[in-house]
Amino acid sequence: GLLRRMRDLLEATSDATTKVVAAPVGSLPPRCLELQVDVKAWTARYGLADRRADRCGALDGAPAVLLLRTRDLFSLPFPLTRPVLASLSLQAAVRGWRFLLLPAAFPLALRPPPSPHGQWKAQNSLEKQRRTLLEQFGVKLEVLPDGRQRWHGCAKDTPRCFGTIHAQTPQYLLAGRWTPPCCLRALRATARHVLAELEAAGVRYWLEGGSLLGAVRLGDIIPWDYDVDLGLYREDVPKCRWLAAVLSSGRPVEDPEGFLWEKAAEGEFFRVHFSRANRLHVDLWPFYVRPGGVMTKDTWLGHRQDVEFPESFLVPLVSVAFAGVAAKAPNDPRAFLELKFGPGAIENPEYPNPGVRRLAQDV
C-alpha cells in the first residue's frame, strides 16, 4: 500500500523538480538536508532543510526506499553507484532535483544485533564506498550543516590532485573546473610559511604576476591558479637560511615543518614545495637592478608578465592582504600589473593561456 501511494504521489506531483519520492525504513527517518554541489570548486555544501518542509535537496543518515522514473534514473551519469542514497543525492543536487520524504515508513526486518566486529566491518565498508564515490564524482571538500569540513583531496603526504602543466593550462581547466580546494589550501599554507620565513630574515620580496592580481582582486590566490609567485632582491637571497642552505649544498633542503626548498631545474630561481610528496609550490624569482634603475632577472620563461620594470615600484614596498596574511607588494599595484598584463588587467580576469581555454567558457 505504501509503495502504491509513493507511485501515485510521483505521478500526481505538479512540481517539475520533485523527481524522487522517499519513505523511511524503520522508525528512524533519514535527515532532510539542502545540498549545493559546486562542480567547478569540487565542493558539496550541506544545510539543514526547513523542518516543516517535506521536500529535501538530499537525504542522509538512515536507510530509505526511493521511487523515481526509470528514464530519470538512467539519465544520471552514475545511476547505480553505491552508496545509493549519497550517490543519488549528489547527482540530484547538480540537476536541481528534490526528494519528497513521506512520514510513513516501511518496516525494518527483525534480525539479531550485529557483533562489534560486524559493526566495524559494515562501517568500514560504507566509508570505503563513500570515499570511492566522492573520488569518482570529483568532490574534494564537504561542508557539513554545522560548518565542519570533510576533506577528500590531497594532503601533505600525498601527491597533488593534478599532473604536469601544459601551455600554462592545468588538467582541471581543460575539464571546466577550477583549482581543487585542497590544492588551494596547500598553496595558502605554503605561501604563508614562505612569507613568514622571508619576513623574519629581512628579505625584500613582493608578490608577482598572478599572485599580485589575486591579492588586488580578492586578497587571495586566484581560484584557478596553481602556484604562487614572489619576486625578491637577488642580493638578499643568502639572508634566508633555507635558500642559503640550498645554495651551499646544491641539493633540496627540507625544513622542520616539512616544506621542501630547492633550486628550480628550469632556471635561476627557487621553488618551495608543500612537501616532498605534494609538489604544490611557491616560486621565488631573484631580481637585480641593472643600470638605469630597472629590475631584471636571469631567467625568463616567456610568460606575458615576464618583463623588466622600474625599481621605483619597490621603493617603498606596501602591504596587501593575501592568503590570510599581510604580504609585501609594489607601491602602485595597478600600474605594475598593467605594465605586465596590459590595461584593465584587474577588471578583466582571464585564464593564463586564453588560446587553450578562455574564462568565458566556464562562467
CATH of the domain at 209: 3.30.460
> Do 247 and 351 fall into the same domain?
yes
> Do 138 and 177 fall into the same domain?
no
CA distance 335 to 230: 17
pLDDT tens digits along 207-243: 999 999 999 999 999 999 999 999 999 999 999 999 9
Establish if 132 belongs to a structural domain: yes
- This prediction's pTM: 0.92
> Do 95 and 198 fall into the same domain?
no
pLDDT at 194: 98
Counted domains in the chain: 2
Establish if 48 belongs to a structural domain: yes
Enclosing domain of residue 349: 171-361
pLDDT tens digits along 280-322: 999 999 999 999 999 999 999 988 899 999 999 999 999 999 9
> Do 279 and 327 fall into the same domain?
yes
86: cell is 549519497
Establish if 44 belongs to a structural domain: yes
pLDDT tens digits along 157-208: 999 999 999 999 999 999 999 999 999 999 999 999 999 999 999 999 999 9
- Mapping DSSP onto H, E and C, the string for 101-155 reads ECCCCECCCCCCCCCHHHHHHHHHHHHHHHHHHHHHHCCCEEECCCCCEEECCCC
pLDDT tens digits along 196-216: 999 999 999 999 999 999 999
Establish if 161 belongs to a structural domain: no
> Do 216 and 301 fall into the same domain?
yes
Task: Tell me which of 105, 125, 143 is where a domain ends.
Answer: 143
Mean pLDDT of the chain: 95
> Do 129 and 51 fall into the same domain?
yes
Establish if 99 belongs to a structural domain: yes
In the predicted structure, residue 262 carries a pLDDT above the cut 90: yes
Mean pLDDT of 131-144: 94
pLDDT tens digits along 26-61: 999 999 999 999 999 999 999 998 777 789 999 998
CA distance 281 to 183: 10
> Do 42 and 134 fall into the same domain?
yes
> Do 54 and 194 fall into the same domain?
no
pLDDT tens digits along 287-297: 999 999 999 99
Task: Tell me which of 143, 163, 181 is where a domain ends.
Answer: 143
Task: Tell me which of 123, 143, 163 is where a domain ends.
Answer: 143
> Do 92 and 200 fall into the same domain?
no
> Do 242 and 182 fall into the same domain?
yes
Which residues are CB-contacts of 70 (< 8 A; sequence separation ≥ 6)? none
Establish if 163 belongs to a structural domain: no
In the predicted structure, residue 263 carries a pLDDT above the cut 80: yes
pLDDT at 318: 98
> Do 228 and 345 fall into the same domain?
yes
> Do 200 and 324 fall into the same domain?
yes
